[in-house]
Amino acid sequence: MHNFRHLAVWQRGYRLSLEIIRAAGNFNGVARYPLSNQLVRSAISIPSNISEGSGRGSDRDFKRFLSIALGSAYELDTQIQIARDLDLIPPVASRRLVAEVREIQRMIHSLRDSLPTESDP
């Protein structure tokens, strides 16, 4: 078992989800609900899947949940860009958020790749 609270990637994903929730709360107009809801869901999914996978008891399951978290991070990257293009997130903020998402993606890849595969002793 992995203690997810000690994982830097979980900590960063958690902080990012808080930032996204705050940013989405400032949306207005027609795109407000569908896009803010999807952004929040994707952002929360990242640390949630890392924590769920860490509690599954096997590296194989942990890897699977890290892959789900990674998919959510890629989804969030796209949604931030859509929000920027709709002028819902300022360009400076979107660049910072996308940079953080991409760093989290890198960290998830590294963590997932560091776990033993089924054939490893």
Domain boundaries along the sequence of the chain: 4-114
Non-local CB neighbours of 112 within 8 Å, separated by 6+ positions: 63, 66, 67, 70
pLDDT (tens, 9 = 90+) of the chain, 121 residues, equals 578 999 999 999 999 999 999 999 888 776 678 899 999 999 999 999 999 999 988 899 999 999 999 999 999 999 999 999 999 999 999 999 999 999 999 999 999 999 998 655 4
Q: Tell me the whole-structure pTM to 2 decimals.
A: 0.91
Q: What kind of architecture, by CATH, is found in domain 4-114?
A: Up-down Bundle (1.20)
Q: What confidence score (pLDDT) does residue 121 get?
A: 47
101 CB-side CA count, 13 A: 29
- At 33, list the tokens: 């609900």
Which amino acid appears at position 108 of this protein? I
Q: What confidence score (pLDDT) does residue 1 get?
A: 59
Q: What confidence score (pLDDT) does residue 30 get?
A: 67
